[in-house]
Amino acid sequence: MEYGAATRGALLAAAPLSGARRSWLPLSSPPSPPSIQIQNRLYSISSLPLKARGVRRCEASLASDYTKASEVADLDWENLGFGIVQTDYMYITKCGQDGNFSEGEMIPFGPIALNPSSGVLNYGQGLFEGLKAYRTTDDSILLFRPEENALRMRTGAERMCMPAPSVEQFVDAVKQTVLANKRWVPPTGKGSLYIRPLLMGSGAVLGLAPAPEYTFIIFVSPVGNYFKEGLAPINLIVEDKFHRATPGGTGSVKTIGNYASVLMAQKIAKEKGYSDVLYLDAVHKKYLEEVSSCNIFVVKGNVISTPAVKGTILPGITRKSIIDVALSKGFQVEERLVSVDELLEADEVFCTGTAVVVSPVGSITYQGKRVEYAGNKGVGVVSQQLYTSLTSLQMGQAEDWLVWTVQLS
Residues paired with residue 116 on neighbouring β-strands, in sequence order = none
Torsion of CA 309, 314, 317, 318, to 10 degrees: -90
Collapsing DSSP to helix, strand or coil, 309 comes out as coil
How many other C-beta atoms are found inside a 10 Å radius of the C-beta of residue 386? Answer: 26
Mapped onto helix, strand or coil, the DSSP state of residue 306 is strand
The SS3 of residue 380 is: coil
Pairing mode of beta strands 22-26, 12-16:
antiparallel
* Type and span of the H or E element at 299: strand 294-300
- 286 touches 280 (CB < 8 A): yes
In contact, 102 and 94? CB cutoff 8 Å: yes
The C-alpha angle with vertex 338 and arms to 336 and 344, in degrees rounded to 5, equals: 155
CA pair distance 22, 19, nearest whole angstrom: 8
Q: What phi and psi values does residue 366 have, to the nearest 5 degrees?
A: -135, 120
- HEC states along 199-239? EEECCECCCCCCCCCEEEEEEEEEECCCCCCCCCCEEEEEE
**Helix, strand and coil in the chain, % to nearest 5:** 25, 30, 45
Kindly report the number of other CB atoms within 10 A of residue 42's CB atom.
Answer: 9
- The answer to whether 396 touches 142, Cβ cutoff 8 Å, is yes
Report the distance separating Cα 363 and Cα 368, nearest Å: 12
Backbone angles phi, psi at 23, to 5 degrees: -135, 170
What SS3 state is found at 183? helix
Distance CA 37, CA 56 (A): 34
Catalytic residues: 254
